[in-house]
Structure formats: structure tokens, C-alpha cells
Homo-oligomer: A and B are copies of this chain.
Amino acid sequence: MERDHAQGQMLSICQEDDPAIFRSVLDRLADKWTLITIGLLEERELRFTELLDSIPGISRRMLTRTLRSLERDGLVHRTIYAEIPPRVEYRATELGRSLSAPVLALATWVDDHKQAILTHRETFDDTHAGAVPPDAT
């Protein structure tokens, strides 16, 4: 945490020398499946099918792609056991494990406040009935 931009200077972080670098890395993390996958792998070594079962709603295709991206970024290590049937174990690298704290903190926050957020949504939707953009989620 020895940042030069003392505390919470999101501004300086995202407007540094090359904003594109920050973006490209953030984009990889902030997609539909990556955070949750990293979160699971930081705790223990898991195989493909275990991940598939642990992540609600993910498809094999997306799990494969997510894991490849993580491997490419040096966050996850892949071990292939030449057995029959084949077995592949995924575990977080040291770099990946350093992501543990931030990711789990975020996940915990979401878990702790999801109900409050749902309540806000209902209230808002009530108040602004029909006022939302055409293609809103």
C-alpha cells in the first residue's frame, strides 16, 4: 500500500501516465465471472468441474475462457495430470493470492449489503415508475 497518491486518489490512479493499462487490467477483473472465480481459487485448489459446480450459472465455455485469461495474467496456475480420466487442478499463484484481500473484501461487502440495495431498488422503481431509460436493465 505504498502508493504515492496517498489515500483514495482514484482520480490519480485512473488518469496516470497511460490510463489504458489500468483500464485493460481492470476490465479483465471486472467482468461477469473473474472476481468470483479468483475468489474461489484463492481459498483452495480446485478442478474444472468443481469450479463449474461452484459458480452458479457459468457455462463451460466461459469458465474455460475465464481461467485462460487468469492464467495469461499470471494469477492462476494450471496443473494437468495425465490420468484417465484427465484431471486438471487450478490454483492461485502468489500474485493471484495477493488479490485475495481486495476481492474477498468486495464480495463480503456485496453480501453484507445486498439486501439494503434490493430495498433501495424497490423504492426507486416505485418512485420513478416508468421514468427509466428504454433499454434499462
Contacts and interface: CB of A to CB of B under 8 A. Distances in A.
Given A101-B105, A118-B21, A111 B16 contact: yes
A133 B65 contact: yes
Interface in A104-121: 104-121
B22 A117 contact: no
Contact of A26 (B20, B102, B110): B110
A102 B8 CA distance: 11
Q: How large is the interface on A (under 10, 10 to 19, 20 to 34, 35 or more residues)?
A: 35 or more
Interface of A: 1, 3, 7-11, 13-16, 19-23, 25-32, 35-36, 39-40, 42-43, 54-57, 64-65, 68-69, 71-75, 95, 98-121, 123-125, 128, 132-133, 136-137
Given A10-B103, A13-B111, A26-B35, 4 more contacts: A8-B42, A25-B113, A95-B116, A95-B120
